[in-house]
Amino acid sequence: MRVWQPVNRLRGYAHVLAAVGLALGLASCGLDKQEEPPPVGPSDRGISTQLVALPDVLNADGVSRSVVQLTLREQNGNPAEGRAVWFLHDGDGKLVPSAASTYVGPLQEGFVMATDANGVAAVIYVAGRQQRRVEVIVRPYSIDATAGTALGSVQITQD
């Protein structure tokens, strides 16, 4: 009768186990070769913006309209409610407040709207009569230095 001896059987496979261990050791990552990721963090204001114009192509007829909608989110992704934003443009048309948003007041160029509970403020651009691209710019409205920094802009084509 033959007695099974696992120790002797393992000795016969020692070279196979050593080769597998060596292969696994060489394939693994070493901590000394890791690269640091580039520094990433919130933007300088901690605000994300989305600005759209629908439609973004208008007839240059003096009456066609485009809704320009701004959505602001804070650094955690929640809507930025109650933020005063200044809408202005460089075209021959005009901006008018949207009834769907809170109108704060006029400025020499453009006017100020407040974001709602969803972080949204909207205005309406009424086309001018020149065939050109018009840029609608949104800036934060405040008395500090950030007032000069644009939150975003969108282009509308008047054809």
Q: What is the DSSP string of 86-97?
A: EEEE-SSSEEEE
Q: Over the range 89-105, which residues count as b (16 or more CB within 10 Å of their CB) and which as e?
A: bebebebebbeebeebe
pLDDT at residue 118 is higher than 90: yes
Please tell me whether residue 19 adopts helix, strand or coil conformation: helix
CA geometry: angle 146, 101, 45, nearest 5 deg? 20
Output the CA–CA distances (angstroms, integers) from residue 135 to 8, 71, 125, 145, in the order listed: 83, 17, 10, 23
State the chain's mean pLDDT as an integer. 82
pLDDT at residue 3 is higher than 60: no
- The pLDDT tens digits of the residues spanning 8-36 come to 555 666 666 677 666 666 655 556 666 76
CA geometry: angle 25, 28, 33, nearest 5 deg? 120
Q: Provide the pLDDT for residue 125.
A: 97
CATH number for region 48-158: 2.60.40.10
Alpha helices, H only, 13-149? 14-27
- The pLDDT tens digits of the residues spanning 80-96 come to 999 999 999 998 999 99
Cβ distance 156 to 125 under 8 Å? yes
pLDDT at residue 4 is higher than 60: no
pLDDT at residue 130 is higher than 80: yes
Q: Provide the pLDDT for residue 108.
A: 79
Confidence of residue 151 (pLDDT cuts 50, 70, 90): confident
Report which of residues 112 and 141 the model is more confident about.
Answer: 112
What is the rounded average pLDDT of the residues 118-142?
A: 94
Confidence of residue 145 (pLDDT cuts 50, 70, 90): very low
The pTM of this model reads 0.69
What is the C-alpha separation between 159 and 61, in angstroms, rounded?
A: 9
pLDDT at residue 43 is higher than 70: no
The two three-digit tokens of residue 60, written as one number? 């240059």
Cβ distance 113 to 122 under 8 Å? yes
Every domain of the chain and the residues it spans? 48-158
